[in-house]
């Protein structure tokens, strides 16, 4: 069984995760986004496969201020953070690109 990615429900929680974890993947999504739903099982699997990376999900409609600050242009958007700095971004549900960016983040040194 694939575990669910942590859903972040407050700015404080979002800020805490980004400031306390070395490597973070943020899935920006919305309940109305079919492509977000399509890529979600892959992200959940990678969450299990890559223990050194924290995976979180933020619903843009639940945290509009945080989403606006993130500068999103389309759904889904996935941000990759290393040591609190955004190092990459994926717009869309391209699993091949997603896996490569996760592998790149996993291999990034402190």
Catalytic residues: 33, 36
C-alpha separations of 100 from 10, 19, 22, 42, 78 in Å:
29, 24, 18, 13, 13
| DSSP state letter for 50 | -
Cβ contact 28:58 at 8 Å: yes
Q: Which residues contact 101 (CB under 8 A, 6 or more apart)?
A: 78, 80, 88, 90
């Amino acid at each position: 069984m694939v575990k669910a990615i942590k859903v972040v429900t407050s700015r404080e929680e979002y800020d805490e995760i980004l400031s306390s974890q070395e490597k973070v993947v943020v899935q920006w999504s919305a309940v109305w986004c079919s492509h977000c739903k399509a890529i979600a099982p892959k992200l959940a699997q990678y969450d299990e496969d890559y223990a050194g990376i924290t995976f979180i999900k933020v619903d843009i409609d639940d945290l509009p201020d945080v989403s606006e600050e993130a500068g999103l242009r389309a759904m889904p958007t996935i941000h990759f953070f290393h040591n609190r700095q955004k190092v990459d971004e994926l717009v869309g549900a391209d699993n091949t690109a997603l896996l490569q960016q996760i592998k790149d983040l996993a291999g990034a040194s402190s």
